[in-house]
Amino acid sequence: MGSPFFCRANRRALTRHAGLLLIATSLSVGLMAFLLRKPMIATAVEETPVILLTGFEPFGEQRSPNPSWEGIRNLHNTEWNGFRIVAHQMPVVWGEPLKELQKQIELVRPVAIFSFGQGRSGSMAIESLAKNDRAPIPDNKGQLPEQTKIAPDGPDKFQSSFPCELVAEKLREKGYTIQVSTTAGQYLCEETLYSLELLRKERPELTVAFCHVPPLGSSVGETRVDGGYVQKFVLDYLTAWQSETQTRKAAGIITPTSGGVQNASAEAKNPELPAIRKLVDGYFKSWSDQRMKDYGDCFAEGSVIQEVTRTGEIFTQTKGPFVAAQASYHKSAVHKAIEVPVSTDFSFEAELARAVVYWKLTAGPRVQFGYDHFTLIKQNGEWKIANLVFYGTKDRE
């Protein structure tokens, strides 16, 4: 097929006057100096952005120490990379996560909330999906949930607004065994993630995430899990998040829209957003489903597609030949290729819209990552792709 451009999977190889009466004794002078300094210290603390960490109390029959709390409790009221960390222990009681989180938001006004819970042995797991369901499991009061829904009037599920796969990749690079999970357990962990995303609907600027950590005394590879190990992971997790945030800002990506239930204010600001999202989602799904006519319909007439290789070369094609090459690839591929968006960011300017998608492509044992940069226009009343620039960033076998 010549240039790697012609094969979408192959080219994928391709993170702001009152005087004081002074008393002439050294004791009084020292006291006055202390009193003058005190408000300044308080002001500095109040101006430092807060990261809220939550972990759970011990639960179950044995009430063994909970790794999610043991890993964060010593971080309470510490400074980290320009933030003040606040650690809060959550009760293992049905209906309490939303109440506890609301109290903490009012109390410390965090810019980000990272919640942790005890998961399975062998791996960390960033939870990417929260369902509006409760399993019939007793809480620490011995009570079953009074209702099966976390929020009777809420959506059936939330896709996490956190860049789960991007952060997980950075942690894998540090040597952690970590997965992105879609099964949060239907217990208090899932209720916490659902509550976080529910609260974020009214506070779209708030970063929220949930991660499971292995039980104390278990092993991850050759490493035995203790409070110190979990604490180190938590700090590396925050570092990965901060790095990804800085990368997105540097790239001019400022509109967080990767959550499964989007905030109402974003759609109110631009009513075209649902149609744009539908186009981008359809682009990925039609390619993965090998519906090449529908895939081709995502592109505008006269559209231009460009691949940037890892050596800096640029290959350019028009709609017809490009779509034909994709169809040819699917027919000859040994493994079925599935490409999904990991995170998506949208922006609008004049009559154009732009989308930046970080994607993951799986073909048999091979996993690839990269970016698609879309420029979108309206053609005959429908949003279409006018220009696509794509490139691969890394492979993982």
Enumerate the active-site residues.
127, 189, 212
What is the helix (H) or strand (E) element at residue 86, kind and residue range? Answer: strand 83-90
Give the bridge partners for 390, in sequence order.
Answer: 307, 372
Tally Cβ neighbours within 10 Å of residue 95: 18
Among the listed residues 161, 46, 172, 64, the one whose alpha carbon sits nearest the alpha carbon of residue 114: 161
Residue 132 contacts residue 219 (beta carbons within 8 Å)? no
Distance CA 79, CA 45 (A): 10
The dihedral formed by the CA atoms of 261, 265, 266 and 272, expressed in degrees to the nearest 10:
100
Dihedral class, residue 113 (left if φ above 0, else alpha if ψ from -120 to 50, else beta) = beta
Helices (H) and strands (E) in the chain, counts: 10, 17
In the chain, which ranges are continuous DSSP H helix? 26-47, 67-70, 96-108, 164-173, 188-200, 227-250, 264-269, 273-288, 292-296, 319-332
Half-sphere exposure of 190 (CA within 13 A, CB side): 23
Retrieve residue 177's tokens: 């065994």
Query: Which amino acid appears at position 124 of this protein?
Result: M
Q: Give 10-59 as a DSSP string.
A: GGGT-------PPPSSHHHHHHHHHHHHHHHHHHHHHHS-EEEEEEEPP-
Residue showing tokens 């099966």: 148
Residue 342 contacts residue 365 (beta carbons within 8 Å)? no
The angle that helices 96-108 and 188-200 make with each other, rounded to 10 degrees, is: 50
